[in-house]
Amino acid sequence: MTDTGAHGMLSRRTLLIRSGQGLGLLAASGVLSACGGGFSASSSSGGGGGTTLTVVSFGGDYQKAQAKTMWAPYAAKNGITVKEDGPTDNAKIKAQAESGNPSWDIVVVGNDFGSEADAQWLEPIDYSVVDKSSIVDGYAQTYRVAADIEGTVLAYRSDKTGGAAPTPWADFFDLKKYPGKRTAWKSVGGGIFEIALLADGVAPADLYPIDVDRALKKLSTIKDQLIWWETGAQAQQYLESGEAVMGMVWIARAVLSAANAPITIAWDSWLSQEAYWVVVKGSRNKAEAMKLIAHMTSAGPTAEFTKYQPYGPVSKAAQDQVDPSAKENLPTTHLDTQVKVDDEWWGKNRDSVNDRFQQWLLS
């Protein structure tokens, strides 16, 4: 639950942390002994010829779309080999960085990893290679650069609201105006606290630090009408079956369910969510990795990616290259109404707030 399963991945990855760390240590000792035996990798990989980069993503259709639009064409053109692995596991990144000889080079991570707090496990992005000015403002950070711009939105059944359009997020909590069940992500940092405070009248700029008591009090007003989802598929099912009249859901699931049922996305206020590229500290192919990231965040590949996944491109120049039919529901089209989730704050406070959240769920 602490992991963002933003791509419908199992959120149980955290269970693996311990075993992941154990494996990392084992792997590390193996690699170290290999080094002692006189094994030396060519660290001068600047030329690129013959380099093998290991790229790790969330798996599924998402990773397939990335392979097709982002790294496969680049590898073919530049004569490098890209090896794929997955799914992303923050614990494995840490264990590999600590081993000093990581097998992963580039990894896609969620909002919960890669901020300044995780500096010890990551290489800083080389902005002499990656063009910072070409990236949408705020998404080129010290240790990570966004892979795509996602979002958590309010989606509603237009057939059950009597033609009216609920306003996020006040109407999510207004049972009189819009009676019926609501579905929400059962994840402490997934936006549930933010939407409660926004509905309670807090300005987006004043959200942090989160007023936990106030948020829980607001949530209590609709508690018996909330259906919690934990995987993207569940969220989609609750909306499509009509069990919920509205929900806070990931944009990709909202778009998918809108294809099967009368579902509308309210873009008046939505929460930021992204995937980020990071380079694991100690990567032997750092220079090549930066070059690949520069390519993968450029206009062509990011625009092409939107043909397969409803996530906004991070390249400023790509915004106009997006297919018009897809553009309406891309997060990047609605950046003016975006509410920024503060990853740094959650990084520091997730555990303690989660304690309160879990107790509240039980009461």
CB neighbours (10 Å) of residue 285? 24
How far, in whole angstroms, is CA 324 from its chain's centroid?
24
- The tokens describing 153, both together, are 């939105």
Q: How far is the CB of 156 from another protein (least distance, A)?
A: 16
CB neighbours (10 Å) of residue 52? 14
Nearer to another protein, 182 or 334 (CB): 182
Scanning the structure block, which residue is given the tokens 């490098």? Answer: 80
Stretch that binds another protein, among 13-21, 27-35, 147-155, 259-267 (CB under 8 A): 13-21
Would you give the binding string for another protein spanning residues 41-80, x where CB under 8 A is met?
Answer: ----------------------------------------
Q: How far is the CB of 140 from another protein (least distance, A)?
A: 31
Nearer to another protein, 15 or 164 (CB): 15
Please tell me whether residue 181 binds another protein under the rule CB under 8 A: yes
Give the Å distances, CA to CA, from 106 to 57, 64, 130, 311.
9, 16, 14, 20
Tell me which of 23, 67, 170, 227 binds another protein, using CB under 8 A.
Answer: 227
Please tell me whether residue 225 binds another protein under the rule CB under 8 A: no
Q: How far is the CB of 355 from another protein (least distance, A)?
A: 7
Q: How far is the CB of 216 from another protein (least distance, A)?
A: 13
Please tell me whether residue 2 binds another protein under the rule CB under 8 A: yes
Measured distance CA(301)–CA(323) in Å, rounded:
13
Count of helix runs (H) and strand runs (E) in the chain: 12, 10
Nearer to another protein, 137 or 224 (CB): 224
Nearer to another protein, 328 or 351 (CB): 351
> What is the length of the chain?
363
Q: How far is the CB of 338 from another protein (least distance, A)?
A: 27
Nearer to another protein, 31 or 227 (CB): 227
Please tell me whether residue 159 binds another protein under the rule CB under 8 A: no
Tell me which of 127, 208, 228, 308 binds another protein, using CB under 8 A.
Answer: 228
182: β partners: 226, 246
Residue 184 phi/psi, 5° resolution?
Answer: -145, 155
Which parts of 338-357 interact with another protein (CB under 8 A)?
351, 354-355
Scanning the structure block, which residue is given the tokens 């910072």? Answer: 132
Scanning the structure block, which residue is given the tokens 């405070």? Answer: 197
CB 180 within 8 A of CB 278: no
Q: How far is the CB of 249 from another protein (least distance, A)?
A: 18
Give the Å distances, CA to CA, from 220 to 100, 177, 196, 336.
48, 17, 10, 30
Tell me which of 132, 243, 264, 327 binds another protein, using CB under 8 A.
Answer: 243
Nearer to another protein, 85 or 243 (CB): 243
Measured distance CA(297)–CA(54) in Å, rounded:
17
Tell me which of 72, 241, 260, 340 binds another protein, using CB under 8 A.
Answer: 241
Nearer to another protein, 186 or 286 (CB): 186
Nearer to another protein, 237 or 337 (CB): 237
Please tell me whether residue 175 binds another protein under the rule CB under 8 A: no
- The tokens describing 350, both together, are 């997730």
Closest C-alpha to 84, from 61, 114, 104, 109: 104
- Distant-in-sequence, close-in-space partners of 87: CB < 8 Å, separation ≥ 6: 9, 13, 56, 57, 58, 59
- The single-letter code of the amino acid at 262 is P
Give the residues lining the site for another protein (CB under 8 A). 1-2, 12, 14-15, 17, 181, 186, 223-224, 227-228, 241-243, 351, 354-355, 358-359, 361-363
